[in-house]
Amino acid sequence: MLTLYSYPELFGVADNNGYGLKVFAFLKLAGLPFHHVHIFDAAKAPRSQLPYIVDGNDTVGDSETILAYLTKKYALTLDAALTKAQSTQNLLITRMLDDLYWVMSYSRWKDERYWRSFRDALLREHPSLTTEILGKAREFNAQRYYYQGIGRYDPDAAMARGLADLSALATLVPAAWRKADQYRCKHLWLYRQHLFLRY
């Protein structure tokens, strides 16, 4: 059976990372049976990043690559009826959500205003974690943020960047929801994006 490896649950969603949640939602919406394994250590993952899937002899990482692989291998038609313009909108929103991910991650791990609440939630919901483990993860993430660029912002500027992304998304998604009944596949796509935004 296909196995999805992703970070554990947090805050009532199936994965505390938006990329794993995107793959989880896609698998559910596609009706593909899968086994979900929650892990913290990504050392064995492709490019040392979660999520990834193991499907028979195939191991596939990167959420968008996973969705493309599953669509091709299992002849999935979730997005088949999207017009070229809708597919373009899908790509634009996906890329914006990728940018928003860094702001959300920064707010959890680096911004002192939110770090303690995030740390305490992880410790409460995942007793195998320790403050030492989370401290090392926090240092590692601080390096990632610096090299990605968001780590060079002060917290208010980082948050402003995320709010600008959300404001732009808010102008796109409601209009698309109103037309969702015309395209079942578009409705499913929007639901996937909604789950990502909920995270």
Per-residue model confidence as pLDDT tens digits over 102-138: 999 999 999 999 999 999 999 999 999 999 999 999 9
- The pLDDT tens digits for 131-157 are 999 999 999 999 999 999 999 999 999
Structure tokens at 75: 């002849």
Look at residue 120 in the predicted model and tell me its pLDDT. Answer: 95
Backbone φ, ψ for residue 2 (5° rounding)? -60, 135
Would you say residue 199 has pLDDT above 60?
Answer: no
Helix H, strand E, coil C: the string for 125-144 is: HCCCCCHHHHHHHHHHHHHH
Q: Which residue has the higher pLDDT, 189 or 79?
A: 79
pLDDT at residue 185, as a whole number:
45
Residue labelled with tokens 């596949």: 185
State the Cα–Cα distance between residues 1 and 35, nearest whole angstrom: 7
CB atoms under 10 Å from CB of 118, counted, come to 19
Of 16, 191, 3, the residue nearest 101 (C-alpha): 16
Round to whole Å and give the CA distance between 19 and 61.
11
pLDDT tens for residues 15-33? Answer: 888 899 899 999 998 999 9
